[in-house]
Amino acid sequence: MLELFSLKGKRALITGASRGLGYAIAEALAGAGAQTILHGRDVDALERAQGAFAQRGWACSTTTCEMTDEAAVRGMAKRVLEQHDRIDILVNNAGANIRKGLLEAASADWRNVLEMDLTACFALAQELAPAMMQAGWGRIINIGSVMSVLSRAGIPAYAAAKHGVAGLTRALAAELGRRGVTVNAICPGFFLTEANQVHLQNAKFTNWVEERTPLSRWGDPKEVGGAAVFLASDAGSYVNGHLLMVDGGLSASM
């Protein structure tokens, strides 16, 4: 049974992998045997992550680009393919959230969130899927959010982008499945990450999350890793076009 979850011989690109959920996902994939390529913007953080992986005997390299720049994203994909020949597993994790409501958000805020959270997912899939299809095997895992199926006031750009991720996931699953490439999304709830520090410092919001989540707590980033390994491995080979909620039951109870 454990062989079903093995990723030995697979190459995985994880965006936004220097910290938080991206790092936890990369760690889980590497632990299952994958060779990982970690993307991020913070070069120092990437070097620390690569060093930590090397200490555990995991093959790992890094790459960087600005994810709000589609041309740069496509250029990174081409460089990765030149260096590694193919990518078997793409995890579109990099994302941003601008906490501004309809009347506060500028057009640039809207565009930046959609470029990073949605357009970059499309661009990387478009660049990397052909080699997967040629090989007859591939995994694309988009990181959505509980906001892919719900929403709340004050984050219109983020909610729109993450709903878009859900639609993109299903559309690509329908298109690529016949070529041996599955496309799924992991939709996290509220996790204890640096990105959520603004919420964690707000006792009212923290209590709101805990009261409305059936498990009565925030998630630990490592709790996303198992879902990623499942979807990336042969254990999840017949799962396609699925939104896997990893939210402690929040979306089931609201």
Kindly list the catalytic residues.
Answer: 158
Phi, psi of 188 (to 5 degrees): -75, 155
The helix (run of H) or strand (run of E) holding residue 123 is: helix 120-135
- Whether 187 and 146 have beta carbons less than 8 Å apart is answered as yes
Instruction: Report the DSSP beta bridge partners of residue 246.
Output: 188
- For residue 23, how many C-alpha atoms fall within 13 Å in the half-sphere facing its CB? 20
Cα separation, 218 vs 153, whole angstroms:
20
- Whether 95 and 115 have beta carbons less than 8 Å apart is answered as no
Token look-up 């994203």 returns 73
Angle between helices 120-135 and 70-84 (to 10 degrees): 30
